Structures are given as C-alpha cells and as structure tokens.
Amino acid sequence: MNQIYALIAEDEPVLAFMLQQSLQRLWPELLIGGVAANGVDAVREALALKPDVLFLDIKMPGKTGLEAAQELAEDWPDDKPFPLVVFVTAYDDYALQAFDQAAADYVLKPVSDDRLARTVSRLQARLARHAERDQALERIVGQLRTLMPPPASTGRLDLIRAAVGNQIRLIPVGEVQYFEAADKYVNVVTAEGEALIRTPLKELLTQLDPAQFWQVHRGTVVNLKFVEAALRDDAGRLALRLRGRTQTLPVSRVYAHLFRQM
C-alpha cells in the first residue's frame, strides 16, 4: 500500500503536538507531513504536500478551517484526489449535528483517543475504497455549503463610490457586471470600465441583493442579469460568459451547483 500522508493545521502548539502523538499511537503507518500554525499556511502547505488526510482546526488566525477548506476546494489540482478532511472543533452539540449530517468527519477538543480512534477507522475505510476517495471533493464542497451560510444582509446598497484615477465616480449598483477582489481593493467592473473600492468583498456581499448578485468564486461576485451562459470545459470546470464581454469568469467548485440547470 502507498504511504498515507497527513497535514495538521492547528494554531495551538500543545494541541497540535497532542493530536500528532495520538495519531502516531492509533495509526502508526500514517506519516505526518507537517503542522501548519494558521489557515494561510494550511492552504499553502496542503497544496505543496497534497496530503491524503487533512486535520483542520475550525478557528485559526489568517483563515478559519472552513475558509481554508473552501480555498483548497477551489484550487485543488484535477489530477490528485482531494484529501479526506477532518475538522477539529470546540463547537457545542447543536453545531455538531451539522457535521454528523455531512460527509467530512470531526473531532471535538480536547481530542480523546476513543473518539479519534473512530475517526481513524473511518478514514482508513474511505482510503481503501478508491471510488469513494474520488468523490471526497464533492463531499467537502457539500459540507462547506452546509456550514457556511450566506452572510446576513446589512441593508441594500444603491450607489457605489469608486475611485477612477483621481476622480470619485458614483456607480449605480445595477450597472455593475461583476466585482472582483484585487489585493487590498475590489475591482468594480461595468460596461463603461473599471473602478476600485476598499470595501472587502465579504462585507460588500452583505449589502447586495442575493437574488441578483451571486458569489461564483472566493474573489468574484457576478450580477446575474449580465450572465449570458454557463460554459463547461472538457475537465468539467464551469465559466460564465457575460453579455458584451469576451473574457469569461471562472466558477469555483464550491459554487458550481448554482448553475447546474443553466
């Protein structure tokens, strides 16, 4: 059998060490490829190592475990099976019901050997079933949709004050074709051109009409009235063609379900 690699993402060094020691006792064949101290490092190291199993702490600096899992689901290469994800959490019983109904496993802090042993058995069984392993990405995407509800509205935005060179332009929200995150700014794209705002995309989403503006990637929100078609390539990846534009907008795996009937 090929070597099985795991990556642990946990910002508390003592808890990370205890989890690593427990895994070595319960699953001696498992090779811990690294320990990431925050969500940003977790994404970078997971994409470099491409582990078979990923233990993600829910609450980490930089990115939460859910945000890290979403980014990995979007960026994971097509030629490598997505890792089996185990969320490490301090959630209460009500929150744990969501995990029980989803595909990815969880362990509750402080991690006990008895509970971790059950998780190890489930992981070993899934790794042995190659067909189920190939569906891990679809399962984690479904899990993320369950655990990451849309942001609550904070009031509708009608006009956007955006910088165009040395000028401030007032842009009616309905004229925006899409928003795209760019470093510390968000690019506001209309038929007339582009402009920049400083409002983070996550905050902007709470001010947009969810029936009109859909997030299609972690860095892109599109105005549906400008969507002409959803196109699928040979690898199954989706992209949106907008009216009057030659370039297409990629749709991440996390949001592909929104366009299955288009």
d(CA 108, CA 85): 14
pTM of the prediction?
0.79
Three-state DSSP at 204 gives helix
Tokens representing 28 are 């001696």
Q: Tens digits of per-residue pLDDT, 211-246?
A: 999 999 999 999 999 999 999 988 788 999 999 999
Residue 192 Cα to chain centre, angstroms = 32
For 159-259, CATH gives: 2.40.50.1020
Tokens representing 41 are 């490092």
**DSSP states of 109-143 as a string?**
SSPPHHHHHHHHHHHHHHHH-HHHHHTHHHHHHHH
Same fold, 5-147 and 159-259: no
pLDDT > 70 fraction of the chain, expressed in percent and rounded = 90
- Confidence tier at 1 by pLDDT (50, 70, 90): low
For 5-147, CATH gives: 3.40.50.2300
Whether 91 shows a pLDDT value over 60: the answer reads yes
- Confidence tier at 184 by pLDDT (50, 70, 90): confident
Whether 94 shows a pLDDT value over 60: the answer reads no
**DSSP states of 32-96 as a string?**
EEEEESSHHHHHHHHHHH--SEEEEESS-SSS-HHHHHHHHHHH--TTSPPPEEEEEE---HHHH
Whether 179 shows a pLDDT value over 90: the answer reads yes
Tokens representing 163 are 């910088």
Whether 167 shows a pLDDT value over 60: the answer reads yes
| Cα-based distances in Å from 7 to 16, 45, 53, 60, 243 | 11, 8, 7, 15, 43
Backbone angles phi, psi at 27, to 5 degrees: -145, 70
Q: Tens digits of per-residue pLDDT, 45-85?
A: 999 999 999 999 989 999 989 889 989 988 998 888 899 99
Q: Tens digits of per-residue pLDDT, 6-34?
A: 999 999 999 999 999 999 999 999 999 99
Q: Domain locations in the chain?
A: 5-147, 159-259
Whether 156 shows a pLDDT value over 60: the answer reads yes
Whether 204 shows a pLDDT value over 90: the answer reads yes
